[in-house]
Chain A
Amino acid sequence: MVQQSKQPKPLILLYKTPLGFYFYETNRNEIVSVNEPLYNYIDAVMKDIEQELQQTKEEVISQYQELVDCGYLLTNRVKEIKHPATDNLELFLERKIDSITLQVTQNCNLRCSYCVYSESNYLSQRSHSDKRMTFETAKKAVDFYFAHSIDTKGPNISFYGGEPFLNLELIQQVVEYAKKVFEGRPLTFTTTTNATLLTNELIDYLAENKFNLMISLDGPKSIHNQNRVFAANNKGSYDTVVKNIKRLWERQPEFAKTVSTNMVINPENSYEEINSLFHDKYIKKMRANHSIVEKEDDSVQFSSRYTNGSFYNQFLGVLSTAKRFKKEDVKRTTIEEIMNMQYQIQKIKYGVLGDTAAPGGPCIPGKMRLFIDYRGDFYPCERVSETSACMHLGSLTTGFEMNNVYSVLNIGKLTEEDCKNCWAFIHCMICGKKVDEDGELSAEKKRKACKESKGMAFSKIKNKTLLFELNKHLSNVTMGE
């Protein structure tokens, strides 16, 4: 039997829980459950613990070998980092841009404390301004999209700001024009709004044009008003937003069912208090998305009032997946997290990494949702810095700057050797936005982002394991025990 010491190491993540021992096999994107002696032996192999290797029973070593023979504990690595879409990038951008996002205005009537466009908070991003997209530019954008989407089955145009409805006239012009241009195709429109400008006429218009509408709302009045205040007088916007949501439901109830809320959670607040938002008779009927507030210096604080409530509800949420707890009694923000978790863990399923591959983070820049700013300049999405040179993907006048597109797609090349040896290769979440440092793609910044990305990948793996263990455990236990 070949001793495993000093051999190339398998590309795996070895971990244990109170109930079991496992490894995640990167080359196959699968989780394998093992017994304790085998776990210890794999651990010794990974860490070159000579003594453990010497003392391991032959039976355990042969179990290890059996796994190897079955195609696990593989030591091979990706040979070349290259995104699979690289060779067809021009084709995708020529025929299949999925969606575009138009920056109809850079202005906003609110000044949210965490907003990336706040004059003081984010030095690496543009600030609020009076700049607006003209119809001439918007028309060119629609024409460009039309010319580059013959293979797109369901074209979509998003409107983005600032607050998009500050330039409602342009939105209406674009909708009218785009419906003509895309006649015969199922064109859809999307907007995220702070909902302060929703009038009866606007609600009717949005319903008539079947907008995918998302309303930003951060919590009950006490929380929402901490952050989301009017630019004009610094007063909280909650009352206005909630009044408009009520108006939406009363005026266009069928349309209202399709509208969702988007919450930016500040975890310094209490979990219970945040979720009390969903006591509102209208808001509780709406789909709800949320994210944790981002700060440029990563200084987000989690209070115990948040984490205790969140963890407890996650526990209940997980039980609800096994039908051991009523889903309706789990707090709304956690229900969404559990749904997301179930979606994410589905991504851990068999698939073989080839010799050429790329870490999982980047989308195909320009294809998924090409962001076009008020001047007609291109960016991968609305979340990146509009002042960054490396994120600038071209313009309506020059077309795509393919070198930049290739670079943003292949950020894995920045840290090629690290990536090849990383167990989280497939589930990496690092995209160009995270790597942008003063307008350049930075290997150092990418490495800094690795810890968070690996944490998220491990979280996925842990959650899959948790559900496995829960279902296995519950299958041995009857209700009431």
Chain B
Amino acid sequence: MEKLRVCAVPFGTKDIPVIMNLTEFTLEYVIGAVVTPAGIGLENKDIGVIENRNELGYLVTSNLEESIRSCDIVLILEKEAFTPLYDYGIKAMEEAIRQEKDIICLLKLTKETKRQYEDICRKKNINFRCILPDKLPPNSPKETTESFYHPYAPVIIIGELAEEVQGFEVFCNLVKRFGSQGINVSAIAAEAANGLFGLHTIDFSDTKGELSSRIYRINHYIREIEEWENPELIIIKLPKPMIKFDEDVRYDFGLSAYMIAQAISASYFIVCSPYGFFNHEFWEPLSNNFEAKFGYGIDAIHISNKIIDNTNEMDKDKLNFVHMPAWKAQEAILQVAGETSFLLGDFTDLYQLEKVADEINSTLLQAPYGLIQ
């Protein structure tokens, strides 16, 4: 069967794993065009340029109209609301409707907006698919008396020390890696693209009920997934950075990570980091801290090529990054990797990820013995 050509729009930093993995996870699709406004600075450049990486094989264009025309489906990529790129996503959706192309929408829309687009698309016979997150199971009155569920499958958790340090790409790579080995994986993340990939998108910030009740609900959610899918491996990407970065950049103080850690423990934990944190003296106490706080220490460390720019006075509540050339970062990582007992690497590189996969295989999947929870 011929694959359907997808026009992915608007492309931004977080979207590299979506473009790279679309065909891997959804066999019926192939990327036909990657579009973003010319002001992003990627016109006729490879998508890797946005992160100063080597060529990844997809050219970016700003020609929205023509790109949509040349494709079968328009994939509106996930973007933060009230930003120019979100508005561009809406513009792309309207162009897709004008050209009567099917739409997959990863944008968060208000109920009203979603209904309006559904109505218009129905009238025009356009297939409009909005990726919605899974819902946590409802509160159970018996939750405090029920026993807590411990999955049978090993659980790999991927967390980030800062936002946008390639955690989702590492997650996708791992899911893909084990999937190709024939291992049945249940994969859970907050990113909307996960739903598109046939994996689980979940909004962990669902605020219904008491905080502790949310922990039970996450635990039930994992149980339901395990019972339905009977996975050999569960892979979870945490939704927000695991700790506050400093007094100004606080994220959610690591509360999401803590909450999820109470609901489910990691058999193997990969932390993703900005560039420059290489010392064992940095990672060892942090691992001990995580062990005490979350119940699991660090097993492997992904070092991204994102250098924190702490000279930017304009945006105090967010970290700013500058991307160093990925090859340079990889060289530096290889040089220092032997100086720490943690498995250190750039896990966007599938070759380096193989070491993590080997370790998971040997310690969790083909282990000669193991503790029953």
Identify the A interface with B (CB < 8 A). 85, 88, 91-92, 95-96, 98-99, 146-147, 149-151, 153-154, 156, 180-187, 346, 349, 363-364, 367-368
Contacts and interface: CB of A to CB of B under 8 A. Distances in A.
Given A182-B39, A349-B247, A98 B83 contact: no
A202 B38 CA distance: 29
A346 B84 CA distance: 33
Contacts of A186: 83-84
B314 A95 contact: no
Nearest to B246: A349
A156 B315 CA distance: 12
Contact of B320 (A85, A88, A147, A153): A153
B54 to A, nearest CB: 16
Nearest to A349: B247
B13 to A, nearest CB: 9
Interface in B32-53: 36-42, 49-50, 52
A185 B84 contact: yes
Most central of B10, B49, B84 by chain A CB within 10 Å = B84
B324 A91 contact: yes
Given A96-B309, A153-B315, 16 more contacts: A88-B322, A88-B324, A92-B309, A95-B52, A96-B322, A98-B314, A151-B320, A151-B321, A153-B320, A180-B39, A184-B36, A184-B84, A184-B85, A185-B40, A185-B84, A346-B247
Interface in B315-360: 315, 318, 320-324
A85 B311 contact: yes
Contacts of A146: 39, 41
B210 interface: no
B322 A92 contact: yes
Top 3 A-B pairs, shortest CB-CB distance:
A184-B37, A183-B39, A182-B39
Interface of B: 10, 36-42, 49-50, 52, 62, 83-85, 88, 247, 307, 309, 311-315, 318, 320-324
Contacts, number: 70
A37 B356 CA distance: 57
A367 B37 contact: no
Contacts of A363: 311
A150 B313 contact: no
Nearest to B87: A184
Contact of A185 (B39, B49, B312, B323): B39
Nearest to A150: B41
Chain A, interface SS category: loop
B120 to A, nearest CB: 24
Nearest to B11: A184
Nearest to B275: A88
Contacts of B40: 150, 184-185
Nearest to B42: A150
Contacts of B50: 150
B88 A151 contact: no
Contacts of B38: 181, 183-184
A92 B50 CA distance: 14
Contact of A368 (B41, B88, B313): B313
Contacts of B62: 183
Contacts of A95: 52, 322-323
B206 to A, nearest CB: 29
B41 to A, nearest CB: 4
Contacts of A184: 10, 36-40, 84-85, 88
A184 B307 CA distance: 24
Contacts of A346: 247
B313 to A, nearest CB: 7
B305 to A, nearest CB: 10
Contacts of B307: 88, 91
A478 B318 CA distance: 40
26 contacts: A88-B322, A88-B324, A92-B322, A95-B52, A146-B41, A149-B41, A150-B40, A150-B41, A150-B49, A151-B309, A151-B321, A151-B322, A151-B323, A153-B318, A154-B315, A182-B39, A183-B62, A184-B36, A184-B39, A184-B40, A184-B85, A185-B37, A185-B39, A186-B84, A349-B247, A364-B311
